[in-house]
Structure 1
Amino acid sequence: MNSYDAVRPSLATALRIGALSWKEYRVVSVGAAALSSILIRAVFQVGFFTLLGQLAAGDGGKEHAFIGAVAFSPVIAVVSRATAVVTGETAQGTMYRLRLGRVPLLAVMLLRSWVYLAEGLVTACLALLLLGPVVLGYRQTLDVAAAFPVLVPTTVGCLCLGMFCCSVVLTGLDEGLTVNLAGYLTLLCSGAVVPVDTEVLRLAGAVLPVGAGLRVLRSAPGGEVHAAVLHEAGVAFLWLLAAGLLLRFHTRRLRTGRTPEPV
């Protein structure tokens, strides 16, 4: 038996989990009504933040808030809906099956959440293409769209932040509090709607997703794309590492009986 033979069953299991997550997504979000509601939420959210920016700072604030809202749009889909995967298992009393499986719990959470990463990117892109010509004009919209791929590592960072939120929820903290706190901190510290003008918020934004990718979008065409991608990748790694350590700590406490499984 070589190393390939040992890896092959795990790889097959991972692919199966990923395929099943797509089937689960289609069951939950089936039909034109569900899909249109997802798109409408994203477009109206971007439009709402754009309006706030215009009311606060005129046309300059409108453009600033629009691009920020597009970059922030995947956060809600990725963080909140990825966390719902864990709360659903906990509510049904099936979390122990995931803990006892041969695939690590963090890997299962990631594999079941990739569809929400795709959803966040697709809805953000559609919001940009639908509202961009009205807010920015066609030429600037195309410039921002050309830089849109930088949001891929940004959204991966949001997914890793969502994994940390899942780990926190498994310790018994309220899901709504955890998700909203992560979302609002990201919104505030990334400068998505209003500029960040304090050192504390800048430091917090440096360890949260969205900020680096957003700066590239705002400076399009141009911007330090490679630096932003590396920054977002580092942020994603840190949150994923924090999620894994917290899961390991909580699992150890469960095994020793020092803390109960949240219900």
Structure 2
Amino acid sequence: MTTRERTPASTALWRAAEAVRLGRREMSATLPPAASIFATLPKGVLQIVFFTVLGGVVAGQDHRQFAFVGGLVLALTTTNTVNVINVPFGDKYFSTFWRIRHGDVPVAVVLYARAVPYLAVGFGLFLAEAAIAAAVLGMTDVALRLLPWLPVFALMACGYALLGIAAATATIAKRADVLAPNILGYLTMLCAGAFLPPGRVGWIDAIGSVLPVRHGLAAVRAGLDGRPWLTEAVLELVICLASAALGLLAVAVQTRRAARHGHDDFA
């Protein structure tokens, strides 16, 4: 029986909680509260307002709700949630991966637990951005109608974060760790259906169907219109779980690679 198998559940939970606390301290160092309030929050608000106004100009006032919901999703993911990639980046740049690799807590648990504070703060910022943007745009009624759909927004954030961590971890040895999450962000903007309605461009629909956000966004819009939404929400959950599995695979590959080469510098 291994040491991990003998570890009581209470001890394992305590260690995971300590990893979350470590993630909070890391986040405070890399993304101080002042930076969140004075940089990230205004950026998110302006992003939502810009895309909503643009949607109204391009497609008419009837398109504003469509564009507003799309702007909310992109502000949540590409502006706020993307910060979780600082977790694998930190292990690379500060050469701490070897310590995690030799610990009693599985590497993936440490990685994902440290990402929790980024997700929590990102979602809190998103709520503030949504409220401010809705007030500026005169769309507070739409924002209030979206409140029951916050769990779906949270699911979209988790799926995007998990896939971002997987992409950064998988490419960290190829010195493409910054490029990969950025490509993911642009693909999300293009293929999520945030502004381009589904059914217009086939290859965009095909790519978006296997990425986070698209199905969750479709579920929210269907719910607002009174149409069936559960199937789309389940598909979003499946993609979220698949993203988590890809992250586990990326961690396993990097752990194996580090053990084989005898170092963790990812050169």
**CA shift in 2, pair 1:198/1:117, >3 Å:** same
Deviation at 1:154, TM superposition (A): 1.2
Deviation at 1:166, TM superposition (A): 2.6
* Equivalent residue for 2:68, pick from 45, 66, 69: 66
Question: Which residue matches 2:82?
Answer: 80
Maintained 8 Å contact 1:71/1:124: no
Most deviating of 108-117 and 194-203:
194-203
2:201 aligned with 1:198: yes
Question: Which residue matches 1:172?
Answer: 174
Most deviating of 12-21 and 195-204:
195-204
Distance 1:44 1:222 in 2: 29
**CA offsets 1:10-31 (integer angstroms, 9 cap, x no match):** 2211011112222333344445
Distance 2:98 2:80 in 1: 24
**CA offsets 1:185-237 (integer angstroms, 9 cap, x no match):** 11111111222422222222122111122123323163444333322211011
Most deviating of 65-74 and 219-228:
219-228
Q: How does 1:129-208 map to 2 (within 5 A)?
A: 129-135=131-137, 137-196=139-198, 197-208=200-211
Deviation at 1:133, TM superposition (A): 4.2
2:237 aligned with 1:250: no
TM-score of the superposed pair, with normalisation by structure 1: 0.87
* Equivalent residue for 2:242, pick from 220, 238, 248: 238
Maintained 8 Å contact 1:77/1:117: no
* Equivalent residue for 2:125, pick from 123, 126, 129: 123
Question: Which residue matches 2:41?
Answer: 39
Distance 2:24 2:173 in 1: 27
Distance 1:227 1:233 in 2: 10
* Equivalent residue for 1:21, pick from 17, 20, 23: 23
Question: Which residue matches 2:113?
Answer: 111
The one-letter code matched in structure 1 to 2:159 is G
Q: Any unmatched runs of 5+ in structure 1?
A: none
**CA shift in 2, pair 1:31/1:214, >3 Å:** closer
Q: How many correspondences in the alignment?
A: 262
The one-letter code matched in structure 1 to 2:218 is R
The one-letter code matched in structure 1 to 2:231 is A
2:214 aligned with 1:211: yes
Q: How does 1:215-230 map to 2 (within 5 A)?
A: 215-219=218-222, 220=224, 222-230=226-234
Distance 2:140 2:81 in 1: 31
The one-letter code matched in structure 2 to 1:132 is A
The one-letter code matched in structure 1 to 2:250 is L
Distance 2:175 2:241 in 1: 23
The one-letter code matched in structure 2 to 1:261 is D
**CA offsets 1:86-121 (integer angstroms, 9 cap, x no match):** 212211222211222222222111111112212232
Distance 1:80 1:140 in 2: 26
**CA shift in 2, pair 1:9/1:259, >3 Å:** closer
* Equivalent residue for 1:56, pick from 49, 55, 58: 58
The one-letter code matched in structure 2 to 1:209 is P
**CA offsets 1:63-94 (integer angstroms, 9 cap, x no match):** 32221010122212555311122212211222
Q: Identity percentage over the alignment? A: 25
Q: Tell me the C-alpha RMSD between the 2 structures.
A: 2.6
Distance 2:123 2:17 in 1: 21
